[in-house]
Every structure is written in C-alpha cells, then in structure tokens.
Amino acid sequence: MNVLVGALAFLSALVLTGTAMSLLALQRTRVLLRELNRRPGVAPSAPAADDTRGLRQAVEALAAQVRELQRTPADAAVDPAVPRPGINLSRRSQALRMHRRGESAEQIATALSVPRQEVELLLKVHRIVLSNV
C-alpha cells in the first residue's frame, strides 16, 4: 500500500508542478502583451489590417479576372476533337509520285497542304518497305 500511496503522491506532485508552470507561462504572456500595447507607435493589429487589406484586393482582382473569363464566348476555345487533314490514299500515291519525280518533302507538303513531318514519315516508311522487298 505504501508503494501505491508513493506513486499517487508523485503523480500529484507532477500535476501540480505542470499546473503551476502553465499559470506562470500565462502570466508572462499577459505581461508581454501589456508591454507591447503600451509601446507608442507599435500597434500589433496594424500590420494584420494591412495584410488583410492586401489579400482582399488580390482576391477582388482574381474575382474580376474570373468574371471577365466567364464573359468571353465559349466559341473562342479550340475544339481538340476536330482532326487535322492527313494523307489519304490518293494524297499518299500523289506524294510518292512527286517524290519519284525528284521533288523535296517540303515541296510535296506545300503542294498537298499536309504537314512536312507527315510527308517525311511517309517517305521513310516507303523506303523501309522497298528495302524489305
């Protein structure tokens, strides 16, 4: 039983010590706050008001931008689902015919209104097929 009483006494001492330290910390905080409020020209709430005002202006500017974007017509957006014209069979045969005549990939692309890279790819694939035959 003495061990139990000793343990409870020790725990009670710890709790009382913690409570006393908390009260001292609160008292010290009050003293520091009073000192800050007594200093002339130093207002702890003034910077917070300036920060709040700046944040409010930034939010209003962003809201104005969002409203402006909502006013613009949705038709201005590009529809990504529209496919670009590519090389169909007739254009493919026409491009190969032009290549056999000695025209460059750029000339072929301009004449057929297709991207140059697509013509170059077609010519590379054609060379690979011919080399395998």
The model's pLDDT over 30-58, given as tens digits with 9 standing for 90+, comes to 999 888 888 776 555 566 677 888 899 99
Number of domains present in the structure of the chain: 2
Q: What is the CA radius of gyration of the chain?
A: 40
Q: pLDDT by residue (tens digit) across 9-29?
A: 999 999 999 999 999 999 999
In a domain, residue 56? The reply is no
Residue 20 lies in a domain: yes
What range defines the domain where residue 99 resides? Answer: 89-132
| Residue 120, in any domain of the structure | yes
CA–CA separation, 87 and 121 (whole Å): 11
Tokens of 61: 């500017």
- pLDDT for 70-129, tens place per residue? 887 665 555 566 666 667 778 889 999 999 999 999 999 999 888 899 999 999 999 999
